[in-house]
Structure 1
Amino acid sequence: MLKITADWIEPLWYGSIFLGSGGGGKSGLLASLLVKNLKDSYIPLIAHEDIASSDYFCGVGLLGSPELSEENIPSGKEIKIAIDELKSHTGLEFRGITVVEGAGVNIFYPLLAALKMGLPVVDADAMGRAFPELQMTAYHLEGMPVTPLVLVDGTYTVHLFLEKQDTFLLELNTRQIVSEKGGVGYFAGFPYPGSVLKKVLFPGTLSFAREIGECFMKAESYEELMDLLLEVTANSFYGPVVEIFKGKVKSISVFSTSKWKSATIVSRGEEINLLFQYENLLVFKNSQIAASVPDLICAIDLDRLTPVNNSEFFEGQYLAILGLPAPLRLRINRALDVVGPQCFGYRTIYMPLERIYQRFYRGVYF
């Protein structure tokens, strides 16, 4: 069994931002807290293939505004309450923690929960990237309920969702509670045995995030970074990373009548428009799609050579926009009905990166 130690946290932090695809929240303070707590300790990490089929696990995470969690760093008390309540109502003894969203804050919060509960974490997650809603998980795609689920809001009030219910409705109910109770909440749910997790979860995402982060820590130039990222991603269940555009942020637009935002990035007479909400969702170049969700659209600050969230964009910033093909399970029609561009309000269809950049991918694969 592997061990997550303090030296995991920095590369995991960079990797969590990259897999956040522009979203996932700022996790720097939570990462720093984990470094301190792991100074003389570690978290056991269970490989996906080593999950005991008969053992039960619970998924934990943060709902609402990750930025608010930066202002009020969670202590772990709230998730202990949630897990203990879940145990009480299900009668299950959990043998480990699972990650629901393998990016941003929701990579690190399950690690904090594991430390507080003295439990291992599974090297896998239920999204393969950052997505904003509960129905955008592999559980929902496989027709499996999120419930029973326990939500602890910002005032430490417990909210129980014990009966099976539509995941879309559960998303609305939990979001309403979170918005009324401080803007952030912490949940424990997805109580499933290892036999189910082996079929549902995306394997190795924590290790993959760490490998991505190590690329940023090793690289001394953008060219070296791209070589390292290409090597890591080409040997993963995602797909080889591709450069979409490099340039300077010309403008950032926020549309007052919706949650939609866009950034215009220019270089040598060319420009792209990056459309984003919580995550980066679409790129247009010359009025044509240059990348689209569920493929990951990741931004690199070229001056600092680090991945950045879209909340960190500013005019005059030099960025590289990269595309990372999503796992195949997110590209089938059943999944696209939940995580495709139309699910975020855009009137366009999903265009795989391999189709848009055929010449590049032919060179990589052949």
Structure 2
Amino acid sequence: MSYNLDGQTLADIARGAAIMGTGGGGDPLVGRMLVQQALDEGLRVKVIDAHEVADDDLVISTAMMGAPSVVVEKLPSGDEAVASLRRLEEHLGRSAVATIPMECGGLNSMIPLLVAARAGIPVVDGDGMGRAFPELQMETFGVYGVPGSPLVVSDAAGHTALIETGTDNVQMESFARAVTIRMGGASYIAEYSMSGADVKRTAIPGTLSLARDLGRSVREAREAHTDAFAALIQAVRSSIYGYARPLFSGKIVDVSRGVVDGFTAGTVVIEPFDAGLPMVIDFRNENIVAKVDGRTVAIVPDLITILDLDSASAITTEALRFGQRVRVLAIATPPIMRTPEALEVWGPHAFGLDEPWVPVEELAAT
């Protein structure tokens, strides 16, 4: 069901998207401010269901690419992603009827909303990752046969680059990342041009609304002084994700973090409040595996989110600090992300992990 965005819904989506970002995707605050500015100017953002798009309509995904920390240091004007959209439309000789998020986690939940406002088109309620992933080929669009190329990359200085790699989405990611680095570490992209029929076939449905529901559940629980974590878990269980559980509570006692191949990579160690062994979480932009005493308790592509113990707000990997009191939450991925072809693209081996994927609900049972 379609709806028009207002300030409260925008704030709820941003809060929920940070949770779905699994530590990555960047803090949505900057994007939220830009979208709110557009709303304050009287611009409209309409969120529509995928089934409201005609099969032969053109839909283009829009996003920010690169290091979210660069976006904080150098705020975008808000027109960069629209510039990429317009350049790609010109190349294709067609206008997009709607845009769709690349991912529903963090900052990139906000960029398509901004594009929708500035370009005067709706945004489809869905995305291609169901969380945040670090690379462009890690999208259900590509997994199920939609090429990401041609892709347009734009920067704040008005420069644009068109990248064409045919059906090779891995090479597209490589070229786009190289251009993004030359643009200062952050760029704004338009990619995965597809028909409405392809959107219905390949997108993870309803994820913007899920982010809204997660954010709202936390907000309303805080306002009512009830258990925000319980409300959050119930909201997940009512969605296509279907399963969530708390994994661990404790205090961060060590963070090791660095930039590796353009990604924020490292490890966080969380010590339990009572007697027991610590939890160790490895991350590569996003949290990818959580272990206790060497035993895996959750692993990518299932979502591993570190939340502030008092507020239930998500903590991104770049914001992890010694002494933070946290609760770790695991969320199952929906069926469309668990097929063999999907796991080939974003299963544990894609992140250099030498172990198989086991669903978080099965790990909990053992």
1:240 maps to which residue?
A: 243
Aligned residue pairs: how many? 359
Q: How do 1:140-219 residues align onto structure 2 when only pairs under 5 Å count?
A: 140-162=142-164, 164-219=166-221
1:313 maps to which residue?
A: 320
Q: How do 1:98-137 residues align onto structure 2 when only pairs under 5 Å count?
A: 98-137=100-139
TM-score normalised per structure 2: 0.93
1:32 maps to which residue?
A: 33
Displacement after TM superposition at 1:53 (Å): 1.6
Displacement after TM superposition at 1:223 (Å): 6.7
Displacement after TM superposition at 1:226 (Å): 2.6
| Preserved contact between residue 222 and residue 305 of structure 1 (Cα < 8 Å) | no
| Preserved contact between residue 155 and residue 182 of structure 1 (Cα < 8 Å) | no
1:363 maps to which residue?
A: none
Residue 23 of structure 2 is aligned to residue 22 of structure 1 = yes
User: What RMSD in Å do the two structures reach over aligned CA positions?
Assistant: 1.8
Displacement after TM superposition at 1:98 (Å): 1.0
Displacement after TM superposition at 1:253 (Å): 2.0
2:5 maps to which residue?
A: 4
Distance (Å, rounded) in 2 between the aligned partners of 1:92 and 1:260? 40
Q: 1:257 to 1:269 in 2, by over 3 A?
A: farther
Distance (Å, rounded) in 2 between the aligned partners of 1:272 and 1:224? 23
TM-score normalised per structure 1: 0.93
Distance (Å, rounded) in 1 between the aligned partners of 2:240 and 2:260? 38
| Preserved contact between residue 77 and residue 156 of structure 2 (Cα < 8 Å) | no
Gaps of 5+ in 2: none
| Residues 150-209 of structure 1, C-alpha deviations (whole Å, 9 max, x = no match) | 111343221112451411111111111111221111111211111111001011000000
Distance (Å, rounded) in 2 between the aligned partners of 1:290 and 1:194? 38
Displacement after TM superposition at 1:108 (Å): 0.4
Helix, strand or coil at the partner of 2:301: coil
Helix, strand or coil at the partner of 2:235: helix
Query: Amino acid of the residue matched to residue 104 of structure 2?
Result: G
Displacement after TM superposition at 1:103 (Å): 1.1
Query: Amino acid of the residue matched to residue 354 of structure 2?
Result: R
| Residues 54-95 of structure 1, C-alpha deviations (whole Å, 9 max, x = no match) | 211111111111111122222232223222211111111211
| Preserved contact between residue 244 and residue 320 of structure 1 (Cα < 8 Å) | yes
Q: 1:349 to 1:255 in 2, by over 3 A?
A: farther
Distance (Å, rounded) in 2 between the aligned partners of 1:54 and 1:255? 45
Residue 272 of structure 2 is aligned to residue 269 of structure 1 = no
Q: 1:305 to 1:231 in 2, by over 3 A?
A: closer
Helix, strand or coil at the partner of 1:307: coil
Q: 2:289 aligns with which of 279, 282, 286?
A: 282
Displacement after TM superposition at 1:255 (Å): 6.6
Identity of aligned residues (%): 29
Q: 2:354 aligns with which of 347, 351, 355?
A: 347
Task: Judge which range, 139-148 or 128-137, deviates more.
Answer: 139-148
| Preserved contact between residue 19 and residue 314 of structure 2 (Cα < 8 Å) | yes
Gaps of 5+ in 1: 360-366
Displacement after TM superposition at 1:324 (Å): 0.2
